[in-house]
Amino acid sequence: MKRKEAVEAELEPCGIAVEDLAKTYGGLEAVKGVDFRVGRGEFFGLLGPNGAGKTTTIGMLAGFIKPTRGRISIDGVETHLHPMAARRELGLVPQELAFYPTLSARDNLLFYGQIYGLRGQRLEERIRTVLEMVQLSERTREPVSRFSNGMKRRLNIAIGFLHEPQVLILDEPTVGVDAQSRNSIFEGLGRLHRKGISILYSTHYMEEAQRLCDRVAILDQGRIIALDSPLNLIHTLETWIIPVKFSAPCQDSFLRRLNRFFPAQEMNGDRNGLYLEVSNREDALQRLFSETRRSNLTIRTLHLREPDLETVFLRLTGKRLRDAPP
């Protein structure tokens, strides 16, 4: 099948379908021709370090940024042909809190509901439904300024889903919330997932993506460099990533000796830390201890853990997602 025919097949009705999506700012190509689809009812993660192109991609999906080239469809509606119809099927939960803090949760929902075109009994029903979904029914008339960070994040989700879209995009929905509020958010998203809502989820927390997502795409330098289920991505990793912190900066001679045995790279520009990529842990640790003594260094911390989505991300990008602030 030719590429065009294959892409047309990919753009058959699904939650989100993207073909050759790109955005250029002057001479900088922020997004470089990405292709992916989110199936109807799929929980899909979009991951990447700062500057990878996630924010630009989400902006193009939401209709806030005009693509330089490419096609997008939302629930089978192509955005360049029918932008308003596509937006009706899309709910966006931005990283920034998007409500009026002096108003109550109910008044915020009334305001946004009218913008969405909801009126009367239908609007009242949707307000009750979304407040129950995010567990805010008991605080409906209280000014939002009194809410905890977790409650504000849940209200943000309620506003994004108020008009009952078939596709929901969430950008860092758990930033700054405690574990209890995070679990409440997960429960609400789980209910939406079970209802068949297509969810695109962007997060800096790799354990969230591994726990929640059916598939994830890893974006780096404007390109998708991996796309599969978290389990399949983890199974493709035949090596361990071992973070090590030393008492003093690592000299070039020390790095060269380590790299004779296994790949070793600086920890995001920190000369006191290294990521080691090893296939045999026991042998690698012996080599590491020997070379550390030879260089008169002291190991401050060393982490051994089973491969997970974080180690996959490290292997592919050379960066930890949470090293950069969201």
* Residue 183 belongs to domain with CATH number: 3.40.50.300
| Nearest residue to 77 (alpha-carbon basis) of 64, 61, 66, 93 | 61
Q: Judge whether residue 298 has pLDDT over 90.
A: yes
Q: Tens of pLDDT along 161-214? A: 999 999 999 999 998 888 888 998 999 899 999 999 999 999 988 999 999 999
Reduced to 3 states (helix: H, G, I; strand: E, B; else coil), residue 205 is coil
Reduced to 3 states (helix: H, G, I; strand: E, B; else coil), residue 136 is coil
**According to DSSP H, which parts of the chain are helical?**
3-10, 54-62, 83-88, 105-115, 120-133, 149-161, 179-194, 206-212, 230-235, 252-259, 281-294, 309-317
How far apart, in whole angstroms, are the C-alpha atoms of residue 94 and residue 75? 20
Looking at the fold, whether 184 and 292 belong to one and the same domain comes out as no
Site of tokens 């700012």: 25
How far apart, in whole angstroms, are the C-alpha atoms of residue 253 and residue 273? 15
Looking at the fold, whether 208 and 247 belong to one and the same domain comes out as no
Looking at the fold, whether 22 and 135 belong to one and the same domain comes out as yes
Q: Tens of pLDDT along 229-275? A: 999 998 887 778 889 999 999 999 999 999 999 989 888 778 899 98
Domain end among 200, 232, 264 = 232
Amino acid identity at 46? L
Share of the chain above pLDDT 70, in %: 93
Share of the chain above pLDDT 90, in %: 73
Task: Please give the residue range of the domain that contains residue 248.
Answer: 238-306
How far apart, in whole angstroms, are the C-alpha atoms of residue 67 and residue 325? 26
| 212 domain residue, yes or no | yes
Give the tokens for residue 29. Answer: 């190509």
Q: What is the DSSP string of 228-293?
A: E-HHHHHHT--SEEEEEEESSPPPHHHHHHHHTTS-EEEETTEEEEEEEEES-HHHHHHHHHHHHH
| 323 domain residue, yes or no | no
Q: Which residues contact 231 (CB under 8 A, 6 or more apart)?
A: none
| 228 domain residue, yes or no | yes
pTM value surpassing 0.75: yes
Q: What is the pLDDT of residue 9?
A: 44
| 7 domain residue, yes or no | yes
Mean pLDDT lowest among 40-44, 158-162, 261-265, 312-316: 312-316
Domain end among 232, 263, 289 = 232
Looking at the fold, whether 89 and 161 belong to one and the same domain comes out as yes
Looking at the fold, whether 140 and 252 belong to one and the same domain comes out as no
| Nearest residue to 203 (alpha-carbon basis) of 52, 321, 116 | 321
Looking at the fold, whether 68 and 204 belong to one and the same domain comes out as yes
Confidence of residue 82 (pLDDT cuts 50, 70, 90): very high
How far apart, in whole angstroms, are the C-alpha atoms of residue 178 and residue 148? 10
Are 168 and 129 spatial neighbours (Cβ–Cβ below 8 Å)?
A: no
Which DSSP symbol is given to 14?
A: S
| 325 domain residue, yes or no | no
| 9 domain residue, yes or no | yes
Looking at the fold, whether 228 and 257 belong to one and the same domain comes out as no
Confidence of residue 51 (pLDDT cuts 50, 70, 90): confident
Question: In what side-by-side order are the strands of the sheet with 69-74?
Answer: 28-38, 16-25, 69-74, 77-78
Domain total for the chain? 2
Length of the chain equals 326
